[in-house]
Chains A and B, each alone.
Chain A
């Protein structure tokens, strides 16, 4: 999860995530949460 835990795990998704700088991880998570809220709004949840 943290960028310094960069050992290969065999999962491309996990490897790509752990190779990211923490700032990029935070940016991706934050935008993901906003996108989920936008999707929820379209679905009528908000």
Chain B
């Protein structure tokens, strides 16, 4: 089988993503002030929750995460290194405190306040504090969690992804935050990478860049958190600890983002080439956000348990309030 034959099953889904992206650009062009990336999520969610994703389109639609991560790699071309180095230590400090404190807080709230037990509190804590569903799955693997516990925690995270994707841009506008403040706030407080980037770009391109970079810093801590959890739960799943686990859970596309940022800031590429790379990045984000919208399932979210929602809600309110105070004070 050649490359063309292997790509064929993906074509209907890619066509669906492309049609959604085109529609988003047309709609955003017709209405002043509407962001194509936000419309893309809305178009995807509308299709996903009315007619649903056709079976034949599912393999291609599943490529959305690859588009998102490639878009993030290319976002490196828009990064002004001096600006990020200047704010870097503050943002990194915020991220480390938010992840470390957030994990402990989520465990405490879920076990103490909402009486959840087993691995569920740890799965919720990982999802809320690091990088959403991928953290739930990674920590679930480390803890040997039951499939149903992983599904339950992932569904809870997805519910909050959908709610915060709408709520954060509205709150950012209402609070009068700058692009940098809003981006870092969303990057520290929200859960999954896609919604964080979408919320950031819904505010402004500058906020989108800061949100994505802040979220990448959080994601890069997943390996360390996985090692910490495998040690905390002692030998239950300590078959693959240490450096190998750190590397296995490290998001490799982050290296691509850093490499592209280095190339872009070296002066090797002309402004026109950088602008074109930015357009490719935008196009990939639009395709990815149509896929993100298609994955939002309102019906499944009603089945999420009350205690888990309560625990994650309290955690989100506390972390986002503290993070808001911190970004207003520090940035």
Whole-angstrom CA separation of A26 from B72 in the bound complex:
9
Among candidates A14, A28, A34, residue contacting B3 with C-beta atoms closer than 8 Å: A14
In the complex the two chains form, is B73's CB within 8 Å of A29's CB? yes
B256: Cβ under 8 A from any A Cβ: yes
- Within 8 Å CB of A37, what residues of B? 269, 273, 276-277
Among candidates A14, A28, A34, residue contacting B1 with C-beta atoms closer than 8 Å: A14
Whole-angstrom CA separation of A37 from B73 in the bound complex:
14
In the complex the two chains form, is B1's CB within 8 Å of A11's CB? yes
Looking at chain A's contact residues, is the secondary structure mostly helix, strand, loop, or mixed? Answer: helix
- Within 8 Å CB of A34, what residues of B? 74, 77, 260, 263, 269, 277
In the complex the two chains form, is B273's CB within 8 Å of A46's CB? yes
Given A14-B3, A37-B273, A37-B276 in contact, is the A27-B255 Cβ separation under 8 Å?
Answer: yes
- Within 8 Å CB of B74, what residues of A? 30, 33-34
CB distance from B266 to the nearest CB of A (A): 11
B232: Cβ under 8 A from any A Cβ: no
Looking at chain B's contact residues, is the secondary structure mostly helix, strand, loop, or mixed? Answer: helix
In the complex the two chains form, is B2's CB within 8 Å of A30's CB? no
Chain B residue nearest to A26 (CB atoms) is: B69
In the complex the two chains form, is A38's CB within 8 Å of B268's CB? yes
B229: Cβ under 8 A from any A Cβ: no
CB distance from A1 to the nearest CB of B (A): 5
Interface string of A20-34 (1 = CB under 8 A from B): 011111111111011
Interface string of B1-43 (1 = CB under 8 A from A): 1110111001000000000000000000000000000000000
B85: Cβ under 8 A from any A Cβ: no
Chain B residue nearest to A13 (CB atoms) is: B3
- Within 8 Å CB of A23, what residues of B? 69, 250-254
B272: Cβ under 8 A from any A Cβ: yes
In the complex the two chains form, is B66's CB within 8 Å of A30's CB? no
Interface residues of B in 245-297 (CB under 8 A from A): 250-257, 259-260, 263, 268-270, 272-273, 276-277, 280
CB distance from A40 to the nearest CB of B (A): 7
In the complex the two chains form, is A1's CB within 8 Å of B72's CB? no
CB distance from A35 to the nearest CB of B (A): 9
In the complex the two chains form, is A24's CB within 8 Å of B252's CB? yes
Whole-angstrom CA separation of A30 from B257 in the bound complex:
8
Chain B residue nearest to A4 (CB atoms) is: B62
CB distance from A43 to the nearest CB of B (A): 11
Pairs of residues from A and B, 6 with the lowest C-beta to C-beta distance, nearest first: A30-B73, A23-B252, A26-B69, A27-B256, A26-B253, A46-B273
B residues lining the A interface (CB < 8 Å) = 1-3, 5-7, 10, 59, 62-63, 65-66, 69-70, 72-74, 76-77, 250-257, 259-260, 263, 268-270, 272-273, 276-277, 280
A residues lining the B interface (CB < 8 Å) = 1-2, 5, 9-11, 13-14, 18, 21-31, 33-34, 37-38, 40-41, 46
Having A22-B66, A26-B72, A27-B259, one finds 18 other A-B pairs with CB under 8 Å, namely A2-B65, A11-B6, A13-B3, A14-B1, A23-B250, A23-B253, A23-B254, A27-B252, A29-B73, A30-B73, A31-B260, A34-B74, A34-B260, A34-B263, A34-B277, A37-B269, A40-B273, A41-B269
